[in-house]
Amino acid sequence: MQRPDWAPETIDVERPSVARMYDYYLGGSHNFAVDRAAAQAMVAAVPEAPLMAQANRAFLRRAVQFLCEAGIRQFLDIGSGIPTVGNVHEIAQRHAPDSRVVYVDVDPVAVAHSREILAGNESATVVQEDLRHPERILAHPDVRAMIDFSQPVAVLIVAVLHFVGEHDRPAEVLRTLRAALAPGSYLVLSQASDDGRSEAERAEAQKVYQRTDNPLWVRSRAELTAFFDGFELVEPGVVWVPQWRPETPDSAEDAERAVFLGGVGRLGG
């Protein structure tokens, strides 16, 4: 296939990428035929897959708006993917022009396209790093140049944790990030949950993602809630993402169809 200008030579365009599948679900254009085929297979297994991505993006928007209203002006978005419409810097800088945003992603396509989008924006940057190595993220010179960790920061890990298996010690990863944060900081999490799913649906979804560069690890509400250890959950707690401070009552109907649970926690002190 012909490689687009924005796709680095180093990437394998014949293997599906979760970041590009997510872009496809959101109606973006930065994906390849192999990503669309994998995404369509996921839709066949779990018809709500596009709804899941869109509900997560809407949750992200509402969470960032809430954080801006709470006075947060620094955002660290880990596992940010390809910034399509409604990304963090657009939302934050619209509400508070002095907001600073660092995107972190392990996918070179996501990072390359992020650099294109952020060119000329001195208050936003992107680094290529892995959530599973938080100490490297925190020590990265571009992160340190943009984020003042002596002041409150919002760490966003949205639609990512289900790609972090227990062998990668997600609770320890989150403890490392929490230890770097000043009081008044926030943590935003969402992840796929198998609460209410049939065994057949679980098996089929996992089978699709086993063919990608990121296998799937679903978790329960109790498991996701435990990841907020050390943070005080903001109302309404950990809920299906359409139920987190919906803009209208109608938008929270049939919320479990979104398949993702999410929440926001504040670090006291």
**How many Cα atoms within 13 Å fall on the side-chain side of residue 187?**
29
Q: Over the range 111-135, which residues count as b (16 or more CB within 10 Å of their CB) and which as e? A: bbbbeebbeeeebbbbbbbbbbebe
pLDDT digits (tens, 9 = 90+) for 182-213: 999 999 999 988 776 667 766 766 666 666 55
Question: What single-letter amino acid sits at 79?
Answer: G
| Predicted confidence band of residue 10 (pLDDT cuts 50, 70, 90) | low
Cα separation, 19 vs 186, in Å, equals 24
Say what the pTM is: 0.87
Predicted local confidence at residue 261, as pLDDT:
94
Predicted local confidence at residue 86, as pLDDT:
79
Predicted local confidence at residue 211, as pLDDT:
61
Q: Over the range 58-80, which residues count as b (16 or more CB within 10 Å of their CB) and which as e? A: bbbbbbbbbbbeeebbbbbbbbb
Structure tokens at 13: 């365009």
DSSP, residue by residue, 186-228:
EEEEEEE--TT--HHHHHHHHHHHHTSSS------HHHHHHTT
Contact predicate 11/1, CB 8 Å: no
Give me the residue spans of the domains in the chain: 18-266
SS3 content of the chain, % helix, strand, coil (to 5): 45, 15, 40
- Is the pLDDT at 251 greater than 90? The verdict is no
Check residues 252 and 186 and name the one with the higher pLDDT: 186
pLDDT digits (tens, 9 = 90+) for 29-70: 878 899 999 999 988 887 888 888 889 999 999 999 999 999
Predicted local confidence at residue 35, as pLDDT:
92
Mean pLDDT of 82-109: 90
- Is the pLDDT at 98 greater than 90? The verdict is yes
- Is the pLDDT at 237 greater than 90? The verdict is yes
**Which class is domain 18-266?**
alpha beta
Contact predicate 234/263, CB 8 Å: yes
Predicted local confidence at residue 6, as pLDDT:
63
Q: Over the range 146-159, which residues count as b (16 or more CB within 10 Å of their CB) and which as e? A: bbeeeebbbbbbbb
Please report, rounded to a whole number, the percentage of residues in the chain having pLDDT higher than 90: 57
Contact predicate 225/189, CB 8 Å: no
